[in-house]
A and B are shown apart, each in its own frame.
Chain A
Amino acid sequence: MRLLLLAIVATAILAVVSLFVGVSDLSLGALLSTSPEARPMQILLISRIPRTLAIILSGSAMAIAGLVMQMIVRNRFVEPSTAGTTESASLGFLVATLLVPGWPLMGKMLIAAAFALAGTALFLRILRAVPLRDVMLVPLVGIMLGGIIGAVTSFFAYRFELLPSLLAWNMGDFSGILRGRYELLWIGLGCGALAYLAADRFTVAGMGKDFTTNLGLNYQQVMVLGLIIVSLVSAVVLVTAGSIPFLGLIIPNLVSLMVGDNMRRTVPWVAVMGAGFVLACDILGRVVRYPYEIPISVVVGVIGSAVFLYLLLRSRRAA
């Protein structure tokens, strides 16, 4: 508990740092000075606070989505970007953009979420059709499924001349976040809370269908709830910030190394670490090539794939 508190404090410090890193001068002094147009205050309210909130919300939501996914698929190496979920959401967003361009973002997001749900269900279907003895095969099939869906998406994007926008929303980037453009992410917070409330159910479901049914729990219901949480979070993060690969994979795995697999205990950890990790990566991306920015998905992609490789090769040695 004390450790968790420490992690929260560290994340809070990162959040404060994130508020003050940027091109425009935003020192405390500038904030307090009563300049005529009060520009620093406006930047803080319109740009920096929304950005920091968006990072915290999407970081913790994606990490929790990864955790839920690992519980319902019963495999440590899945997360939305290794199960075709992110790519399906992206396809759904493209379809929404093409067919109903006039809809508000909320409506498009729901279509993306529906596609994400269908894509993930397809993935689970394939897994059920072919019993896989090898744990490594599950993420492999997922990544390939994602690749195929991605190819379909780029084909349509190419036909309708939307490739640049597709590239833009597939690349996770918080630099475009302003007040009024991130509020959908609060849905992610709701999903995270839901996952916490249902944590015990997911923990039980993680022990298998027979065990779950034996304890008097409706397995199918838990699976559907998990799928809805994962798809909603993926869609929300995709339409606001863009995709952030590997986040849902490395954070739950690191947490599970530290505190084990009881979801009631791990959800707060995963949420805090997810937010802290994305904050740190975003700050790094903003500082390393100041005054330009490196998109979050690139920074997380480098760190995330390196950690993933470590986990893969380590688990082999331990086995």
Chain B
Amino acid sequence: MPPESALALPGAPEGRRLAGLSRPVLVLILLALVTAVSIACFMTLGAKGSWSFIIPFRGRKLLALCLVAYSVAISTVLFQTVTNNRILTPSIMGFDALYVLLKTGIVFFLGAGALTGIDPQLQFGIEIVVMVVFSGLLFRWLFLGEERSLTLLVLVGIVFGILFRSLSQFMQRMLDPNAFNVLQDSFFASFATVDTTLLAVASVIVAAVSVVAFRLGHAYDVLSLGRPHAINLGVDYKRVVVIILMLVSVLVAVSTALVGPITFFGLLVASLAHSLVGTSRHRYVLPAAALLAIICLVGGQTLLERVFSFDTALSIIIEFVGGIVFIILVLRRAAR
């Protein structure tokens, strides 16, 4: 793995060249090819029955998985840029636990009956607004307040996650069983049973977020130089950071609503992307992370479902590998 090139000047990408292409471009082409293969396998392997049924059925699942992968990858990379480190991710900081808590809280305080009347898409919209407000408050307090050490932040984030999860469990126990059933699915990550009712609205939201994120694109590389440099180079630091944190909360809400909380997936994908691409320029890292995430989810799900015939195990495997990557990252950082 190349040394951390956070301070390497963005210019000619380093490394060997093959057929006139630089390493990041090569990596992206390769990843795109693997992505195409995994998507093709996902759609065709083990298909029995008429294609007019299979294509829309698997297509919906594929779209959901891609949306999740994209949201997790982009939100993690952007969050790491804002917080200027490679260990924190939104899920480690308890973002998705917060979303589950808010969802439970809405059912708890308004009652399940109040929600069944509302269109699920509108309900999802309301949840996202609440999520943005709450996470904005919490993380402005954590990141823009007094200077805190990174390890303290991570630990506080993890404990916040545990607190949010326990609080939601507590409220769930207080609910009547019917209301509990409505919520139960949102607690366990499962890629086999993706909630496809929200696909349309989720796609629109992700597209909108992407537009905003793309327009801010010029600021990312500068932001990753750290706060003093970014301000010095003319970035309206506070405004940009707040906007990015809002985008991150929306993306987390989308992925959690579709498959449930997954703690280490973003970390896994972002670290892999950084080490494969070998540069920290966001125009390469962001697409690489997104492609990697799609490969992991779509390819992994295909492999498990069709080859090993496990169905809910993918989230467990991701947590296992991601946890090991996390410990290695932390220890390597500490050893330095």
- Which residues of A are at the interface with B, using a C-beta cutoff of 8 A? 77, 126, 129-134, 136-137, 139-141, 143-145, 147-148, 151-152, 154-155, 158-159, 245, 288-289, 292, 294-295, 298-299, 301-302, 305-306, 308-309, 312-313, 316
Contacts and interface: CB of A to CB of B under 8 A. Distances in A.
Nearest to B152: A136
Nearest to B323: A148
Contact of B313 (A158, A245, A301): A158
B312 interface: yes
B170 A134 contact: no
A140 B231 CA distance: 32
Contacts of B166: 298, 301-302, 305
B319 interface: yes
B160 interface: yes
Interface string B209-227: 0000000000000000000
Interface in B318-333: 319-320, 323-324, 326-327, 330-331
Contacts, number: 106
B324 to A, nearest CB: 6
Contacts of A140: 151, 154-155, 158, 330
Of listed B148, B166, B326, B330, residue having the most chain A CB within 10 A: B166
A312 B152 CA distance: 8
A154 B163 CA distance: 22
> Helix, strand, loop or mixed for chain A's interface?
helix
Contacts of A154: 316
Given A151-B316, A151-B317, A289-B173, 17 more contacts: A130-B331, A134-B149, A136-B151, A137-B151, A137-B330, A141-B330, A152-B320, A158-B312, A158-B316, A159-B310, A159-B313, A245-B162, A301-B162, A301-B163, A305-B160, A305-B166, A312-B159
A144 B326 CA distance: 8
B159 A305 contact: yes
B144 to A, nearest CB: 16
Contacts of A313: 156
A309 B323 contact: no
B97 to A, nearest CB: 11
Interface residues of B, number: 36
A132 B151 CA distance: 11
17 contacts: A134-B149, A134-B151, A139-B155, A141-B327, A143-B158, A147-B319, A148-B320, A154-B316, A155-B313, A158-B316, A245-B162, A294-B170, A301-B165, A305-B162, A305-B166, A312-B156, A316-B152
Contacts of B334: 130-134, 137
Contacts of B313: 155, 158-159
Contacts of A144: 323, 326-327, 330
A148 B169 CA distance: 22
Contacts of B279: none
B167 interface: yes
A298 B169 contact: yes
Contacts of A306: 163
Given A139-B155, A305-B159, A312-B156, A155 B330 contact: no
B330 A302 contact: no
Contacts of A130: 331, 334-335
Nearest to A77: B155
A93 B239 CA distance: 52
B20 to A, nearest CB: 43
Contacts of A148: 319-320, 323-324, 327
A302 B312 CA distance: 28
10 A-B pairs with least C-beta separation: A301-B166, A305-B163, A151-B320, A136-B151, A148-B323, A151-B319, A302-B166, A294-B173, A305-B162, A147-B323
Contacts of B263: 147
Interface in B159-196: 159-160, 162-163, 165-167, 169-170, 173-174
A317 to B, nearest CB: 9
A221 B324 CA distance: 31
